[in-house]
């Protein structure tokens, strides 16, 4: 045969193979394949009956020794503890020349019947015993058929929302109500950011497509909307969102769907990496900020062994901070800590200041509603009492800086998750370029910056995860981010046990004479 024809012919074969692969990879799973996947990943049978596994004479549910546990999420096989779990991708199992394993065991190719034998009796196609670590399963013929169907498909199975050409993601924003305008501002930034990424060729030749999920009227609606989108629509991950109030509900929804969620705006992050592995936050919430503030207080020599009082309202946000302060105080060896709760309807600054003065409190963490802190400080001043007062920026009024009496110089400290100086010239230029290119309005800059940072970190995660993308790989890539500079926030670090990117807070004091904030720098929580 003419060489040129041969080359052309083989190129054609290769291309058609690639096309067929792409087609398969883009097709959704059939019902049987989906059931098989549940068996493969979680050891769950669609029949609801338990699949049993035997390891030696140990009898356990298959859900504790899943196929994926040893053979990998994609059936690629892996070696651990000197035990090699083989590659289960169907094409590999069917190789006509069979397999020779590292320990010398040899056997011919599998077929469906031989596979069933290996699963149930623990023998390979040549009748050899499989490794001891490979359990034998008691599985019904229906479940077995589903499992085989999935193994035939596993190689080209992708996470939801992922095709050869696209990555579909969602964001959760209010479409109506008082926050709708902020929602629109954030949506515009996200849309522009990903349009710009796509403009430059996307991520490893995949375009990012963004859907907006309506946050709805309340927490239950938010959770329900997100759940519906996860179940109906194909969605790989969620990026950014205004979801205050629905923290717990959303954490539960994203956890059960194992969908990555990058950078929701909230003061109450659900930070357990163990429980909510796919949930990542950019900035510290009230409890992380409160911890940083306490660490700062603990380092002040004049407050060594002082009497600490926590004065707080009965609101959820305040209570979360109270728990964090108490815990951190214990860790820092603070022995004298008292708590005083008040309800916002019956707030009496003079009475509280009087009582705390009588108790001899020297450091006061005040967690009330905006404006109450100023009333408290002025009541203390009127009683000629000057304790150190610690506040969370999120709970204080803008006018505070103008109302602090002169006697409280170097006595009032506030924690903030981010400060204007976090926005570097480079970061600002990047955002400005986007605003110009996509004609974005410039209002609600803080929310825009937040959405921008979430989009940027998510994109960085995708780049690090590589072309052979999966949710698992994205989460692992994000866990590897160390002091990543977004240009618009404090630097972001995640880790296997860390889900808040900026873990700590800025502490600022107030100079009452000049009526301005004075920075005491960033306090790290770790």
Partner 1 sequence: MSKLLMFLSVFLLFSAPASAQHQHTNHGTTTTEPGAAAKYFTDVELVDQDGKKVRFYSDVLKGKTVVVNAFFTTCTSVCPPMNRNMEKIQEALGDRVGKDVFFVSLTVDPTVDTPARLKEYAKKFHAGPGWMFLTGKKENLDWALYKLGQYVENKDDHKTIFIIGNEPTGLWKKAFGMANVAELLQIVESVVNDKGEATKTK
Residues that bind partner 1 (CB under 8 A): 55-58, 60, 64-66, 68-70, 78-83, 85, 132-133, 135, 274, 495-497
We find the least distance from the C-beta atom of residue 118 to partner 1, in angstroms, to be 17
CA angle 154, 159, 46 (to 5 degrees): 65
Closest approach of partner 1 to the CB of residue 54, in Å: 11
CA distance 170 to 458: 12
Shortest gap between Cβ of 253 and partner 1 (angstroms)? 22
- Nearer to partner 1 by Cβ, of 234 and 327: the residue is 327
Nearer to partner 1 by Cβ, of 58 and 513: the residue is 58
Of the pair 127, 441, the CB lying nearest partner 1 is at 127
**Comparison of 81 and 96: residue with beta carbon closer to partner 1:** 81
Rounded least distance, CB 74 to partner 1, Å: 14
Complex with partner 1: residue 65 or 235, whichever CB lies closer: 65
Tell me how far apart the alpha carbons of residues 460 and 339 are, in angstroms, rounded to a whole number. Answer: 44
Reported as half-sphere exposure (CB side, CA atoms, 13 A), residue 162 has a value of: 21
C-alpha distance from residue 204 to each of 14, 386, 466, 469, 486 (Å): 20, 60, 7, 10, 21
Cβ nearer to partner 1, comparing 55 with 428: 55
Cβ proximity to partner 1: between 135 and 241 the closer is 135
How many C-beta neighbours within 10 Å does residue 117 have? 16
H/E stretch holding 320: helix 316-331
Sign of CA dihedral 169, 172, 176, 179: negative
Shorter beta-carbon distance to partner 1: residue 63 or 386: 63
Closest by CA position to 378, among listed 350, 413, 348: 350
Instruction: Please report how close the Cβ of residue 483 comes to partner 1 at its closest, in angstroms.
Output: 16
Supply the minimum distance, in Å, between the C-beta of residue 327 and partner 1. 13
Which candidate, 493, 477, 478, places its Cα nearest to that of 525? 493
* Chain centre distance of CA 422: 22
Write down the least CB distance from residue 104 to partner 1, Å.
Answer: 14
Contact 458, 239 (CB under 8 A): yes
As measured in angstroms, the least distance from the Cβ of 70 to partner 1 is: 4
Strand (E) or helix (H) holding 413? strand 412-416
CB of 132 to partner 1, least distance (A): 6
Closest to 196 in 3D by CA, of 454, 456, 445: 456
Best CA proximity match to 86, nearest among 64, 58, 115: 115
Residues 175, 187: Cα–Cα separation, whole Å:
10
> Residue 410 is encoded by which pair of tokens?
């170097």
- C-alpha 379/C-alpha 83 separation (Å) is 70
Using the minimum distance from each CB to partner 1, give the nearer residue, 42 or 409: 42
**Residues in the chain, total:** 526
Phi first, then psi, for residue 203 (nearest 5°) are -105, 110
> Two tokens at 520?
């005491």
Q: Which is nearer to partner 1, 43 or 427 (CB)?
A: 43
Question: 83 or 426, CB closer to partner 1?
Answer: 83
CA–CA separation, 329 and 292 (whole Å): 11
Placement of tokens 């035990």 in the chain:
83
**Could you tell me the smallest distance in angstroms from the CB atom of residue 496 to partner 1?**
4
| Interatomic CA distance for residues 408 and 512, integer angstroms | 7
CB 135 to partner 1: min, Å: 8
């Amino acid at each position: 045969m003419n060489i040129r024809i041969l080359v052309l012919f083989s190129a054609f074969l290769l291309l058609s193979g690639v096309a067929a692969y792409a087609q398969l990879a883009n097709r959704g799973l059939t019902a049987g394949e989906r059931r098989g996947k549940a068996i493969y990943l979680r050891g769950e049978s669609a029949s609801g009956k338990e699949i049993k596994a035997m390891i030696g004479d140990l009898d356990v549910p298959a859900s504790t020794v899943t196929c994926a546990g040893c053979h990998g999420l994609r059936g690629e096989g892996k070696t651990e503890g000197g035990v090699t779990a083989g590659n289960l991708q169907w094409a590999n199992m069917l190789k006509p020349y069979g397999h020779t394993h590292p320990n010398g065991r040899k056997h011919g190719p599998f077929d469906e019947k031989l596979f069933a034998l290996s699963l149930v009796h623990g023998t390979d196609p040549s009748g050899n015993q499989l490794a001891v670590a490979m359990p034998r399963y008691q599985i019904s013929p229906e479940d077995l058929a589903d499992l085989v169907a999935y193994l035939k498909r596993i190689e080209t199975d992708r996470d939801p929302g992922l095709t050869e050409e696209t990555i579909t993601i969602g964001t959760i924003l209010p479409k109506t109500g008082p926050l709708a305008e902020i929602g629109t501002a954030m949506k515009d930034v996200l849309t522009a950011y990903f349009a710009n990424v796509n403009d430059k060729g996307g991520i490893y030749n995949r375009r990012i497509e963004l859907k907006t999920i309506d946050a709805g009227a309340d927490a239950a609606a938010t959770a329900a909307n997100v759940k519906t989108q996860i179940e109906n629509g194909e969605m790989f991950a969620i990026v950014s969102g205004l979801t205050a109030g629905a923290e717990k509900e959303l954490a539960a929804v994203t956890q059960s769907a194992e969908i990555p969620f990058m950078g929701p705006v909230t003061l109450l992050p659900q930070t357990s990496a163990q429980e909510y592995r796919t949930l990542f936050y950019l900035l510290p919430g009230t409890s992380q900020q409160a911890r940083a503030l306490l660490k700062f207080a603990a380092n002040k020599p004049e407050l060594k062994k002082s009497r600490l009082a926590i004065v707080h309202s009965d609101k959820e946000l305040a209570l979360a901070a109270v728990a964090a302060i108490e815990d951190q105080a214990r860790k820092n060896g603070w022995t004298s800590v008292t708590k005083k709760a008040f309800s916002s309807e019956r707030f009496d600054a003079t009475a509280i200041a009087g009582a705390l003065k009588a108790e001899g409190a020297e450091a006061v963490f005040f967690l009330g509603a905006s404006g109450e802190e100023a009333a408290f400080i002025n009541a203390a001043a009127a009683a000629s009492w000057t304790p150190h007062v610690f506040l969370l920026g999120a709970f204080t009024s803008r006018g505070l800086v103008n109302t602090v009496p002169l006697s409280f110089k170097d006595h009032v400290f506030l924690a903030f998750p981010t400060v204007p100086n976090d926005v570097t010239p480079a970061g600002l230029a990047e955002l400005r370029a986007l605003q110009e290119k996509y004609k974005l309005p410039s209002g609600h800059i803080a929310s825009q910056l937040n959405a921008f940072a979430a989009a940027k970190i998510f994109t960085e995660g995708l780049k690090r995860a590589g072309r052979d993308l999966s949710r698992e790989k994205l989460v692992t890539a994000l866990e590897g981010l160390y002091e990543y500079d977004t240009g618009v926030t404090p630097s972001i670090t995640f880790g296997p046990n860390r889900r808040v990117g900026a873990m700590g807070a800025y502490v600022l004091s107030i100079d009452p004479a000049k009526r301005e904030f004075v920075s005491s720098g960033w306090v790290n929580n770790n």
